Amino acid sequence: MLSLKESISVPFGSLQNCQRTREWTPLEPGKEGNKFYAPGVGFIMDIHTKGEARKLELINITTR
């Protein structure tokens, strides 16, 4: 874990006190990314920081 106090804006909305983690695997050397999680929501964003450029963001939540 890198931080517990990130402020993140995604299409879903602006969220405070988000957790940021750094993720990598020896199975894919040269690839690394940061994932962000918001309290009460869960996963909200994934940004590749090394290797292939990619960004995934939470757009919507549907509840039943």
Pairing of the two strands 32-38 and 3-10: unpaired
The domain of 25 spans 3-54
At residue 55, does pLDDT exceed 90? Answer: yes
pLDDT range class, residue 52, cuts 50, 70, 90? confident
DSSP 60: -
Q: Is residue 33 part of a domain?
A: yes
Question: Would the pTM of this model clear 0.85, i.e. be above it?
Answer: yes
Total domains in the fold of the chain: 1
Q: Is residue 61 part of a domain?
A: no
Tens digits of residue pLDDT in 3-47: 999 999 999 999 999 999 999 999 989 999 999 999 999 999 999
In 3D, which of 43, 40, 41 has the Cα closest to residue 57?
Answer: 43
CA–CA dist 29, 6 (Å, integer)? 27
